[in-house]
Chain A
Amino acid sequence: MSLLDADTLRGLDALQGALRGQVRGQRAGDHRSLRKGPSVEFAEHRPYAPGDDLRRIDWNAYGRLDELVVRLSAAEEDVTLHLLVDASESMATGTPTKWHEAQRIAAAVGYASLTSGERVSLTVSLGGRTAPAAPLRGRGAWSRFERALESIVPEGRSCLDEAARRAITGPSGRDAAAVVLSDALDEGATLRCLALLSAARHSTTFVHLLSQDELDPRLDDDATLVDVETGERLDVAVDPGLLRAYSAKLDAFCREVETECQRRGVRYLAAFAAPPLLTLMARLFAAPARGAR
């Protein structure tokens, strides 16, 4: 059974237009990116900074303004999308599981990117390690991409920060696009991942996944909570106060993650309790609306 049915794929095709020009790449591709770069179509000037290519200095403007400026143009680039997916065991919780939701979102993003001619690099974090897959390009790679996603079984702990480190040091280099899928319940690994991507000037979007069970835990009696990743146990005496405190703590956590994303220039996209996929993708492809849930 495929991750995305035919209706979903058609819906994604319809969203392709919205995706164009909103991610940038290093090489000239077939879609327009928001990133300003050295291209034929002039966009604007900016002050010269050490390290800029001298060939991009607009000498005419220097003559008029007596100031070194660099020409910036709307880039026609070859875009690489880094898809970093948290496949730790915590993603296997919830009904449906967060991992299932992450698979579908990753599949949708990958499908959209592949059909747009972008190169898609899938990196999965699971079992305390990373499992990078070979970059894929073109619509024909969709089935391979989908199989790769389906074959993954969550396990162990997350190390998204390590996955990010691989992404920014790989062949795609700097200034790529990245989409990170995680529940961020990994003792800061996700936030470190986002920090690395941001430092590498990647256009990053963080899709925050939380299950309905995490948003509203149904605990009627005293229970022993078991951490699926560490096996640690915690006895709790359940009462409404505890549940209220938990909800407040969860809200604070989500706000903290969102705030961190804003501070790092990362788009924050909440995917709580399995929202409709196309709606989520529409928000993802739309103009940046940070903090939107």
Chain B
Amino acid sequence: MNFLSPLGLIALGALLPLAALYFRKRQRTERRVSSLALWRAVTRERLAATGLKRFRGDLSFWLLAASVVCLALALARPVKTMALRPREQLVLVLDTTASMGAREGGATRLDLARGAALALAATLSRDTAVRLVSAGCRPVWRPLDPGDPNALRAALAAQAVEPCGGDLAAALTLAADALRDLDGPRRVVALTDGSTRSDALVGAFPVPLELVRVGTLVPNVGVVSLGTRERPGPTAALRDLDLSATVQGVNRGAAGEVTATLSLRTARGVSRLATRVFRLATGRTTLTFPVALAASDDPRWLELHLDAADNALALDDDATLAVPDTAALRVRLVSTAPEGSPWVARALAADPEVLLTDGAADPRTVGLTVYHGGLPSRAPLGNSLGFLRARENPSIAMGFALRGPWQNPRWVDVELSDPRVRFVSPADVHFASAHTAALGPGDEALATLDRGPFIVARSTAGASTTLVGADPDASDWPLRVSFVLFLRDAVEHARTRRDASRVGLLRTGALSRFASHGSTEVTLSEGAWRRTLTHDGREATWFVDHPGAVTLDRGRGPEALGVSLLDATETALAVADLPWQRAVTGGSAPTPGGLAQRPLWPLAAALALGLLTLDAALYHRLKRSRG
């Protein structure tokens, strides 16, 4: 028993004056009598005859004392905390995934589930504690007013089909966890069309579980997973990306085998990379087929589409997967030379770990962009290396202010400690003309002419920019080994910073990890997601509720940042399951133990009033009998 207002017990202090009055009253007057023989005989007979009446003298005191105690208890507002042990604890898990919106005979499966839930509720005893969990995109507790007999009906009516596949297992786990600490009979009843993933959970469910299936099982074919791996083979400087695509399809229907068509293509691509027609038996089917990606394709991610007749749920028919990076660095060569840049191209192609692409490639998909002429005035996205052309005379290039040109410049210094120029020998290289650059804060001078620095570099958190203020075609540098070594070291330098330049490669359904240099800016600009997340190196988690979910947290390494995106239309391909605890929104879980408080103070107050009334009646009777 607990007291809501313990200060009310102070009223017990009234017992003290009451007791003082009582003991004062008990001080009887003394009367001297000749003999007690007669009185003793009389009182002995009366005691035997009156029984409890002998206590009448004290009865008034005890009645008053008891009434004071009851009054004090009433003021303290006692409540009795009781465990609802005898109550049955029932959790209704209502499947609200997209498949529940399928119509059968004019009513949706959700309507059928509502009807089944109400029919079940009608058979329950009145003291059964009913809770509701909606299993949509995420499991959510739906609070029910225990005092409202129509609460369940109203809550059921408020549920709607959610446009996602969902995971009934997560909802069942949520329900089981909520019932774990409750006493009494426990039961979970799941109302579902059976199209969600719950089969594995049912067998080992910790509380009694009843699956109430609604609707008719119709073919429900979807993609469960899509994976790729690079096919082994000889590497080439300019080669296609050979992948093996592995697709897992599932048929949850009861109609046996279903004929399905799988179409694989690159994102934004029009032409299909592969099309396979196969038969999906009940359960999962794994299909592997080769995919050849040309270097000119946008290979960032693949899109897979499944098409099957009479498919009840189309949400899981599409899947998207980022193409894994290969060991080779993709280098984009951009040149304004009419004949191209054969020296540069040849030197880059000499590196077997380079995949050389042309200027049409998306700069966000490459590890290094090499410019030969046509240098942008601002530093480009990602790692870049730029060579000036002899006939170009810009005042600013790649963010550097230029001076010159200087005719027949002379090398005076090389920063040999920098890996990019460690093999450059100035004595062997001669330029017809060259520009020098003005160094800003943080800029480095890798090589210096007698007029100033002409190979300069600038590093930011996301990219590295290197500028050579001379045209290799107007020098004898390409004839030297140091030119090849310079380009190779530039590639290696870019390779080490590749992860930092992959910010733009995030894609839903894929898990990306990249280095985090203290502060990392993640910009999601694809599709409906336009959100910038800034990670400052601390432990952090972000959720983006609409249209999907974004989880941003630290990876294994101290400077690794992991990003996982879940799209509403790609839930079936979730690469990271949402912990159910994070899915609890829109209401509170039931109180562990199912405790209830019953107020006792009205009883105490009534008892005090009754005792006072009884005492008054006795007093009145005594006065009347004496009077």
Known: A223-B28, A223-B31, A240-B626. A234 touches B46 (CB 8 A): no
Segment 210-257 of A: residues with Cβ below 8 Å from B: 211, 214, 217, 219, 221-230, 232-237, 239-242, 245-246, 249-250, 253
**Quick check: B42 and A245 within 8 Å, CB to CB?**
yes
Complex contacts, B626 vs chain A, CB 8 Å: 239-240
Segment 43-81 of B: residues with Cβ below 8 Å from A: 43, 45-46, 54, 56-57
Binds A, one of B32-40, B165-173, B287-295, B452-460: B32-40
**Quick check: B40 and A234 within 8 Å, CB to CB?**
yes
CA–CA, A186 and B38, complex, Å: 11
A93 within 8 A of B: yes
- Residue among B31, B40, B41, B46 facing the most chain A CB atoms (10 A cut-off): B31
Q: How close is B255's CB to chain A, nearest CB, in angstroms?
A: 95
**Quick check: A237 and B32 within 8 Å, CB to CB?**
no
Q: For B31, give its contact among A91, A94, A226, A242 (CB under 8 Å).
A: A226
CA–CA, A245 and B46, complex, Å: 8
Q: For B36, give its contact among A93, A183, A227, A245 (CB under 8 Å).
A: A227
Known: A235-B28, A237-B56. A185 touches B35 (CB 8 A): yes
**Quick check: B42 and A246 within 8 Å, CB to CB?**
yes
Q: Is the interface of B mostly helix, strand, loop or mixed?
A: helix
A90 within 8 A of B: yes
Complex contacts, B38 vs chain A, CB 8 Å: 185, 246, 249-250, 253
Q: For B30, give its contact among A93, A98, A226, A232 (CB under 8 Å).
A: A226
B29 within 8 A of A: yes
Q: How close is B102's CB to chain A, nearest CB, in angstroms?
A: 88
Q: How close is A206's CB to chain B, nearest CB, in angstroms?
A: 17
CA–CA, A239 and B623, complex, Å: 10
**B-facing mask of A174-207, CB < 8 A → 1, else 0?**
0000000001011100000000000000000000
CA–CA, A238 and B36, complex, Å: 15
**Quick check: B29 and A185 within 8 Å, CB to CB?**
no
B123 within 8 A of A: no
CA–CA, A26 and B169, complex, Å: 129
B532 within 8 A of A: no
Interface contacts (Cβ under 8 Å), in number, total 87
Q: For A227, give its contact among B29, B33, B41 (CB under 8 Å).
A: B33
**Quick check: B625 and A239 within 8 Å, CB to CB?**
yes
Q: For B29, give its contact among A91, A221, A240 (CB under 8 Å).
A: A221
CA–CA, A223 and B38, complex, Å: 15
**Quick check: A93 and B41 within 8 Å, CB to CB?**
no
Q: How close is B449's CB to chain A, nearest CB, in angstroms?
A: 127
Q: How close is A105's CB to chain B, nearest CB, in angstroms?
A: 17
Q: For A228, give its contact among B29, B33, B41, B46 (CB under 8 Å).
A: B33
- Residue among B30, B38, B40 facing the most chain A CB atoms (10 A cut-off): B38
Complex contacts, B56 vs chain A, CB 8 Å: 237
Complex contacts, B45 vs chain A, CB 8 Å: 245
CA–CA, A250 and B34, complex, Å: 13
CA–CA, A232 and B34, complex, Å: 11
Name the residue of chain A whose CB is nearest to the CB of B40.
A234
**A-facing mask of B548-560, CB < 8 A → 1, else 0?**
0000000000000
- Residue among A90, A91, A223, A225 facing the most chain B CB atoms (10 A cut-off): A225
Known: A223-B29, A239-B625, A240-B626. A93 touches B46 (CB 8 A): no
Known: A237-B56, A240-B626, A241-B46. A223 touches B30 (CB 8 A): yes
**Quick check: A183 and B46 within 8 Å, CB to CB?**
no
CA–CA, A239 and B42, complex, Å: 12
Complex contacts, B28 vs chain A, CB 8 Å: 221-224, 235
Q: How close is A94's CB to chain B, nearest CB, in angstroms?
A: 8
Q: How close is B36's CB to chain A, nearest CB, in angstroms?
A: 4
Q: For B34, give its contact among A219, A228, A242 (CB under 8 Å).
A: A228
Known: A245-B46, A246-B38. A222 touches B32 (CB 8 A): no
Q: How close is A195's CB to chain B, nearest CB, in angstroms?
A: 19
- Residue among B35, B39, B40 facing the most chain A CB atoms (10 A cut-off): B35
CA–CA, A185 and B36, complex, Å: 9
Name the residue of chain B whose CB is nearest to the CB of A213.
B33
Complex contacts, B31 vs chain A, CB 8 Å: 217, 219, 223-226
**Quick check: A225 and B46 within 8 Å, CB to CB?**
no
Complex contacts, B34 vs chain A, CB 8 Å: 90-91, 93-94, 98, 183, 185, 211, 214, 227-229
CA–CA, A195 and B28, complex, Å: 40
CA–CA, A217 and B38, complex, Å: 12
Complex contacts, B625 vs chain A, CB 8 Å: 239-241
**Quick check: B39 and A236 within 8 Å, CB to CB?**
yes
CA–CA, A187 and B43, complex, Å: 18
CA–CA, A93 and B31, complex, Å: 11
Name the residue of chain B whose CB is nearest to the CB of A94.
B34
Segment 3-51 of B: residues with Cβ below 8 Å from A: 28-43, 45-46
Q: How close is A185's CB to chain B, nearest CB, in angstroms?
A: 4
Name the residue of chain A whose CB is nearest to the CB of B28.
A224
**Quick check: B39 and A246 within 8 Å, CB to CB?**
yes
Complex contacts, A222 vs chain B, CB 8 Å: 28, 57
- Residue among A94, A183, A249, A250 facing the most chain B CB atoms (10 A cut-off): A249
Q: How close is A49's CB to chain B, nearest CB, in angstroms?
A: 42
Complex contacts, A183 vs chain B, CB 8 Å: 34
Segment 593-627 of B: residues with Cβ below 8 Å from A: 622, 625-626
**Quick check: A232 and B36 within 8 Å, CB to CB?**
yes
**Quick check: A249 and B42 within 8 Å, CB to CB?**
yes
CA–CA, A129 and B28, complex, Å: 34
Complex contacts, B54 vs chain A, CB 8 Å: 237
CA–CA, A229 and B41, complex, Å: 17
**Quick check: A234 and B41 within 8 Å, CB to CB?**
no
**Quick check: B36 and A234 within 8 Å, CB to CB?**
yes
**Quick check: A93 and B39 within 8 Å, CB to CB?**
no
Complex contacts, A226 vs chain B, CB 8 Å: 30-33
List the 7 closest pairs (A to B, CB-CB), nearest first: A90-B34, A185-B35, A227-B36, A224-B28, A245-B42, A185-B34, A237-B57
> Can you list 18 A-B contacts (CB < 8 A)?
A91-B34, A183-B34, A185-B37, A186-B35, A219-B31, A221-B28, A222-B57, A223-B28, A223-B30, A225-B31, A226-B33, A227-B35, A228-B33, A232-B36, A234-B36, A236-B43, A246-B39, A253-B38
Residue numbers of B with Cβ under 8 A of A are: 28-43, 45-46, 54, 56-57, 622, 625-626
Q: Known contacts A227-B36, A242-B42; can you find 11 more A-B pairs with CB under 8 A?
A: A98-B34, A187-B37, A211-B34, A217-B33, A221-B28, A224-B30, A229-B34, A235-B28, A239-B622, A245-B45, A246-B38
